[in-house]
Structure 1
Amino acid sequence: MKGDMVAGGWKGEKGQRPVSEIGWQGLKSLSKLKMLNLRWNELKALVTSSGKFPDSISISPSLEALGISNNHMSGKLPRWMGNMSSLMGISMFSNHFEGPIPVEFCKLGNLEFLDLSENNLSSSIPSCFNQLKVKHVHLNRNQLSSLITRAFYNSSSLVTLDLSDNHLNGTIPSWIGSLHVLSILLLKFNNFEGEILVQLCQLKQLSILDLSENNFFGSIPPCFREIPFKTTYEKSSLETGYQMGGISTFSLWSFVEGLKSLGEHYMMDVGYGTIIFHSLDVQQKVELTTKHESYAYKGNILDYMSGVDLSCNHLKGEIPLEMGNLSNIRILNLSHNNLFGSIPSTFSQLKQIKSLDLSYNRLNRKIPSQLIELDKLEVFSMAHNNLLGATPDRKAQFATFEESIYEGNLFLCGLPL
């Protein structure tokens, strides 16, 4: 390739050519490319004038990691990605992709990490996803609809499933209990309905469960006590255990700087399987509501997070006494339901709890005095219920709480009221 780089293209023997054209041709010549990361708007120099991926392109068949997150890519997800059989990690979040997830993705037999979140993807999740050995799936903040059907049926490797902020409906499928290593299940902000399945209690590795902002009804299954909700390294781990050497990687910077001498390799790196995901600059990230706001937890901090959020549904009945056995959880949110009866005194056993929200229910008895034993409690609310009697003694953490945590309970008395 001869000539000089100029604004908007390459000036050579045949005149100026657009950077996007040169870019895709450059990628075709990198036959041993292992990693391609064009995140954070760097892709502007490589996309077509319409801001879309080309309908067909020949990228290295040995590519193992593809990252094009935080760009302005639009159009449909390219079907040709299904031919990249070596792909282990795909990070394409925060773009404007639309339309369905191509069924061709089901051919990616080595895929372990998939993040298509924060796009405009629609239609249903392909049922053939259950053929994959993927560990972490992030499809949140899209417009996916319809039922889950068998999309993740028998997905024995699945650790993270984030389908929150979509338009999914129907009931949680009963096969959910077969996902024995599932640790993070996020289904909030959808249109799921029906009772909360007891099959969830079969998920012994589960540590984060968020079913909030749906249409679930019925009672809370007492069998939740059977879930340890322990912290686990699997939540944040992106290790593959796969030894690699002489890895070819590619970035837009190396492309521009080295455009005059295209060869088999641009950058060399040596390491273990984690280098694949580090090269994409991705890490596990989930959002949880605590302290009355939504916070993003990512990386190693996830290993220490555990919690249950069942808020904003139509749950009724009494809070099971057995929920006091969830001694490992740090977040419990049961607000905005139709729960009645008493606050279980067994909640005093929630020794790790930092955020407990029982507001906007129909709880109608005394507040257990044993709750003052919760010495790690930072956020607590029982507002807008029908509680009566005296408020707990202003000791330990309860000495820090203000009147607002009790508001909307006409028959409560005592400080700080």
Structure 2
Amino acid sequence: MYDFLGFLEISSYSSDWSRHISGSDPCQWDGVSCSENGGGDVVELHFAGFEFSNSILQSIYKLPALQVLDLYDTLLAGEIPQVFTQCTNLISINLTLNHLTGPIPGSIGNLANLETLSLTSNVLFGSIPLQLSYMKDLQFLDLSDNQLTGSIPPQLFSLSNLMTLDLTSISLSGGMPQIFSRNLIRVSIGNNRLNGTIPSTVSNAPNLAYLEMNNNHLIGPIPEQLGNCRELQWLDLGNNKSRGPLINVLPKLLQLKYLKLTNNMFEGTILDELSILSSLNYIDLSGNLLSGNLPSKIFKLNRLQHLWLQNNLLTGTIPQNIQDAVSLLELRLERNNLTGTIPPGIGML
């Protein structure tokens, strides 16, 4: 049986939510789910949008059977208490969009059953605890939009069940981990201070669909092994220091819809082979060192809506078949070395 008095104490931490309480059975209260085995244990709390004091995290341990805790946008403030991690049956934690501060406690590693952890949009600082690298059941980890610093724990990307990892905008530095889990589908590490090269081992994640590494200090070429990620739909390497030609890895990414390589030092020509990527609807290659002619085949992409090629070294004329890009909404070609007249077909778009 759940700790009834303990739960009543928890309910007192929100005058906002407590107005929705009716009846004496907490299992019938809004946002509360209990076990179906007759024991009456509280297993899920869904309090998103209600205002709570941070004391609720201090008292959660009084619900030892708790599996799901959703306190999204509940105005929580203060630090995440160590005692909170005594709820070892937790599977999912969502503390997104609050005012939590301080470090992520290393004792979070005690939550061996945890599959989902979202701490995004708080004011957490310190480093990413190494203990997160040992949480073998973790599938979803979002620490984005905090003030965390330091490097990425080297084993974090290799968690065998991890599918989604979001470390965007948290001031991380250092290099990229070299081991990628086979189950990774989404990796977002943009808006940090990461350096070094994109590891060739990214190909260990064949199901990767979303790769966002923009606004870092990455150098070197796009590794050819990225072409083995045949499910990739979103690739954003913008605003780094990457260089080299747009190698033939890109035409291998047949599912690609979004390609952003802006403000790097990529050189060479725009590949004719991009025209076989029939799903592409966004291309931004602006701010590079691309030269040669603008290939006419690129306008045969009938789903292409945005084509940004400004601030390069392109020469020649604008292809006459520009009207073939029937879905095109935005075309930017300024600050190149293009010559000739504007094709009349541009008025047909």
Does the pair score TM above 0.5?
Answer: yes
Match of 2:226 among 184, 189, 200: 200
Contact preservation (8 Å) 1:30, 1:59: no
Partner of 2:325: 374
CA distance in 2, matches of 1:382, 1:139: 33
CA distance in 2, matches of 1:162, 1:211: 11
Tell me the SS of whatever aligns to 2:133. helix
Count of residue pairs brought into register by the alignment: 305
CA distance in 1, matches of 2:309, 2:12: 63
Match of 1:27 among 60, 80, 83: 60
Confirm whether residue 137 of structure 1 aligns to residue 165 of structure 2: yes
Tell me the SS of whatever aligns to 1:141. coil
Partner of 1:191: 217
| Structure with greater contact order relative to length (CA < 8 Å, sep ≥ 6) | 1
Structure 2 unaligned residues grouped into runs of 5+: 16-51
**1:394-417 deviation per Cα after TM superposition (whole angstroms, max 9, x unaligned):** 45xx446xxxxxxxxxxxxxxxxx
CA distance in 2, matches of 1:166, 1:384: 29
Tell me the SS of whatever aligns to 1:90. strand
Structure-to-structure mapping, 1:102-181, within 5 angstroms: 102-129=129-156, 130-150=158-178, 153-181=179-207
Match of 1:330 among 252, 263, 281: 281
Contact preservation (8 Å) 1:222, 1:323: no
CA distance in 2, matches of 1:21, 1:65: 18
CA distance in 2, matches of 1:215, 1:22: 46
Aligned residue type for 2:292: G
CA distance in 2, matches of 1:313, 1:167: 15
TM-score (ref. length: structure 2): 0.82
Aligned residue type for 2:117: I
Partner of 1:256: none
CA distance in 2, matches of 1:334, 1:6: 52
Match of 1:313 among 242, 264, 287: 264
Contact preservation (8 Å) 2:53, 2:75: no
Pair 6,178 (structure 1): closer, same or farther in 2 beyond 3 Å: closer
**1:280-324 deviation per Cα after TM superposition (whole angstroms, max 9, x unaligned):** xxxxxxxxxxxxxxxxxxxxxxxxxx2111110011111122112
TM-score (ref. length: structure 1): 0.69
Structure-to-structure mapping, 1:270-289, within 5 angstroms: none
Tell me the SS of whatever aligns to 1:143. coil
**1:13-54 deviation per Cα after TM superposition (whole angstroms, max 9, x unaligned):** xxxxxx96853453111111111111214324xxxxxx1122
Contact preservation (8 Å) 1:204, 1:228: yes
Partner of 1:217: 243
Pair 318,21 (structure 1): closer, same or farther in 2 beyond 3 Å: closer
Structure 1 unaligned residues grouped into runs of 5+: 9-18, 45-50, 231-305, 401-417
Pair 394,214 (structure 1): closer, same or farther in 2 beyond 3 Å: same
Tell me the SS of whatever aligns to 1:177. helix
CA distance in 1, matches of 2:58, 2:80: 13
Partner of 1:84: 111
Partner of 2:310: 359
